[in-house]
Protein backbone atom coordinates (compact mmCIF):
# COMPACT_ATOMS: atom_id res chain seq x y z
CA UNK A 1 0.00 0.00 0.00
CA UNK A 2 1.17 3.51 -0.84
CA UNK A 3 0.62 5.97 2.06
CA UNK A 4 -1.37 9.13 1.28
CA UNK A 5 0.65 12.15 0.20
CA UNK A 6 -0.41 14.20 3.22
CA UNK A 7 0.85 11.53 5.61
CA UNK A 8 4.17 11.17 3.78
CA UNK A 9 4.66 14.95 3.74
CA UNK A 10 3.89 15.22 7.45
CA UNK A 11 6.47 12.53 8.25
CA UNK A 12 9.27 13.44 5.84
CA UNK A 13 9.00 17.10 4.77
CA UNK A 14 11.48 18.34 7.40
CA UNK A 15 14.08 15.72 6.51
CA UNK A 16 13.74 16.35 2.78
CA UNK A 17 13.99 20.12 3.33
CA UNK A 18 17.03 19.78 5.61
CA UNK A 19 18.82 17.51 3.13
CA UNK A 20 18.10 19.89 0.24
CA UNK A 21 19.07 22.97 2.26
CA UNK A 22 22.31 21.38 3.43
CA UNK A 23 23.36 21.03 -0.21
CA UNK A 24 21.91 24.19 -1.72
CA UNK A 25 22.27 26.63 1.20
CA UNK A 26 19.35 28.48 -0.32
CA UNK A 27 15.80 28.46 1.05
CA UNK A 28 13.85 29.00 -2.22
CA UNK A 29 15.75 26.27 -4.06
CA UNK A 30 15.42 23.88 -1.11
CA UNK A 31 11.66 24.53 -1.05
CA UNK A 32 11.52 23.82 -4.79
CA UNK A 33 13.30 20.51 -4.23
CA UNK A 34 10.79 19.57 -1.52
CA UNK A 35 7.89 20.38 -3.81
CA UNK A 36 9.36 18.44 -6.74
CA UNK A 37 10.18 15.48 -4.51
CA UNK A 38 6.62 15.16 -3.26
CA UNK A 39 5.18 15.72 -6.75
CA UNK A 40 7.25 12.77 -7.95
CA UNK A 41 6.01 10.72 -5.02
CA UNK A 42 2.43 11.63 -5.92
CA UNK A 43 2.97 10.61 -9.55
CA UNK A 44 4.70 7.35 -8.65
CA UNK A 45 2.47 4.34 -9.14
CA UNK A 46 4.76 1.69 -7.63
CA UNK A 47 4.55 0.90 -3.95
CA UNK A 48 7.40 0.86 -1.45
CA UNK A 49 8.72 -2.20 0.39
CA UNK A 50 8.81 -0.46 3.75
CA UNK A 51 8.71 2.91 5.47
CA UNK A 52 12.52 2.96 5.43
CA UNK A 53 12.54 2.29 1.68
CA UNK A 54 10.20 5.24 1.19
CA UNK A 55 12.35 7.53 3.39
CA UNK A 56 15.54 6.57 1.56
CA UNK A 57 13.84 7.05 -1.82
CA UNK A 58 12.63 10.54 -0.88
CA UNK A 59 16.04 11.61 0.42
CA UNK A 60 17.84 10.19 -2.59
CA UNK A 61 15.43 11.99 -4.92
CA UNK A 62 15.91 15.27 -3.04
CA UNK A 63 19.70 14.94 -3.03
CA UNK A 64 19.78 14.17 -6.75
CA UNK A 65 17.52 17.12 -7.56
CA UNK A 66 19.62 19.44 -5.39
CA UNK A 67 22.74 18.29 -7.24
CA UNK A 68 20.98 18.95 -10.55
CA UNK A 69 20.22 22.48 -9.44
CA UNK A 70 23.83 23.01 -8.40
CA UNK A 71 25.01 21.79 -11.81
CA UNK A 72 22.53 23.85 -13.80
CA UNK A 73 24.18 26.27 -16.17
CA UNK A 74 21.91 29.10 -15.08
CA UNK A 75 23.33 28.94 -11.54
CA UNK A 76 26.95 29.14 -12.66
CA UNK A 77 26.61 32.83 -13.52
CA UNK A 78 24.54 33.92 -10.54
CA UNK A 79 25.39 34.95 -7.02
CA UNK A 80 23.51 32.90 -4.40
CA UNK A 81 21.38 34.72 -1.86
CA UNK A 82 22.72 34.57 1.64
CA UNK A 83 20.07 32.71 3.61
CA UNK A 84 20.06 31.98 7.28
CA UNK A 85 18.49 28.63 8.17
CA UNK A 86 15.82 30.39 10.26
CA UNK A 87 13.18 27.78 9.42
CA UNK A 88 15.18 25.09 11.20
CA UNK A 89 14.93 24.84 14.95
CA UNK A 90 17.82 23.86 17.19
CA UNK A 91 17.68 22.65 20.81
CA UNK A 92 20.80 24.63 21.83
CA UNK A 93 22.67 27.57 20.27
CA UNK A 94 25.68 25.27 19.79
CA UNK A 95 23.57 23.09 17.50
CA UNK A 96 23.04 26.03 15.14
CA UNK A 97 26.80 26.77 15.12
CA UNK A 98 27.52 23.14 14.30
CA UNK A 99 24.88 23.04 11.55
CA UNK A 100 26.33 26.20 10.01
CA UNK A 101 29.78 24.61 10.12
CA UNK A 102 28.36 21.55 8.34
CA UNK A 103 26.86 23.86 5.69
CA UNK A 104 30.32 25.32 5.08
CA UNK A 105 31.77 21.90 4.19
CA UNK A 106 32.28 20.89 0.55
CA UNK A 107 29.21 19.10 -0.81
CA UNK A 108 30.66 15.57 -0.81
CA UNK A 109 31.40 15.77 2.93
CA UNK A 110 28.30 17.79 3.81
CA UNK A 111 26.03 15.14 2.27
CA UNK A 112 27.42 12.18 4.20
CA UNK A 113 27.66 14.16 7.46
CA UNK A 114 24.04 15.22 7.08
CA UNK A 115 22.78 11.71 6.33
CA UNK A 116 24.82 10.14 9.14
CA UNK A 117 24.22 12.62 11.96
CA UNK A 118 20.96 14.37 11.12
CA UNK A 119 19.09 11.54 9.41
CA UNK A 120 20.62 8.66 11.46
CA UNK A 121 21.59 6.49 8.50
CA UNK A 122 24.30 3.87 8.87
CA UNK A 123 27.42 3.84 6.70
CA UNK A 124 25.96 0.91 4.75
CA UNK A 125 22.68 2.76 4.14
CA UNK A 126 24.48 5.94 3.05
CA UNK A 127 26.61 3.92 0.65
CA UNK A 128 23.45 2.48 -0.85
CA UNK A 129 21.65 5.84 -1.08
CA UNK A 130 24.62 7.67 -2.63
CA UNK A 131 25.84 4.75 -4.75
CA UNK A 132 29.25 4.74 -3.06
CA UNK A 133 31.33 2.06 -1.44
CA UNK A 134 31.26 1.74 2.35
CA UNK A 135 34.92 2.73 2.44
CA UNK A 136 34.22 5.90 0.44
CA UNK A 137 31.50 6.86 2.92
CA UNK A 138 33.83 6.18 5.87
CA UNK A 139 36.57 8.27 4.26
CA UNK A 140 34.19 11.16 3.61
CA UNK A 141 32.89 10.99 7.18
CA UNK A 142 36.44 10.99 8.54
CA UNK A 143 37.54 13.94 6.40
CA UNK A 144 34.31 15.82 7.06
CA UNK A 145 34.78 15.40 10.81
CA UNK A 146 38.37 16.65 10.54
CA UNK A 147 37.19 19.73 8.66
CA UNK A 148 34.45 20.34 11.23
CA UNK A 149 36.90 20.03 14.12
CA UNK A 150 39.26 22.50 12.47
CA UNK A 151 36.46 24.96 11.68
CA UNK A 152 34.95 24.77 15.17
CA UNK A 153 38.37 25.07 16.81
CA UNK A 154 39.12 28.11 14.68
CA UNK A 155 35.77 29.66 15.62
CA UNK A 156 36.33 29.03 19.33
CA UNK A 157 39.79 30.62 19.06
CA UNK A 158 38.23 33.64 17.33
CA UNK A 159 35.63 33.92 20.12
CA UNK A 160 38.33 33.74 22.79
CA UNK A 161 40.26 36.70 21.40
**Tens digits of residue pLDDT in 97-150:** 788 888 889 989 999 998 898 888 999 999 988 889 999 999 999 999 999 999
Q: Which of 42, 64, 83 is the last residue of a domain?
A: 83
Could you count the other beta carbons within 10 Å of the beta carbon of residue 68? 11
CA 34, 37, 42, 46 dihedral sign is negative
> Do 157 and 95 belong together in one domain?
yes
Where in the sequence is the domain holding 133, given as residue range(s)? 90-161
**Tens digits of residue pLDDT in 39-53:** 999 988 888 888 889
Round the average pLDDT of the chain to a whole number and report it. 83
> Do 2 and 37 belong together in one domain?
yes
pTM for the whole structure: 0.65
Amino acid sequence: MKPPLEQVMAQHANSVYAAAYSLLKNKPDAEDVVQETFLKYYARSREFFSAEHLRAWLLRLAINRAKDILRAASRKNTVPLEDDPQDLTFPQPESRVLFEAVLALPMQYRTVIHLYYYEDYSVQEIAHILHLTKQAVKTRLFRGRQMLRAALKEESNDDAT
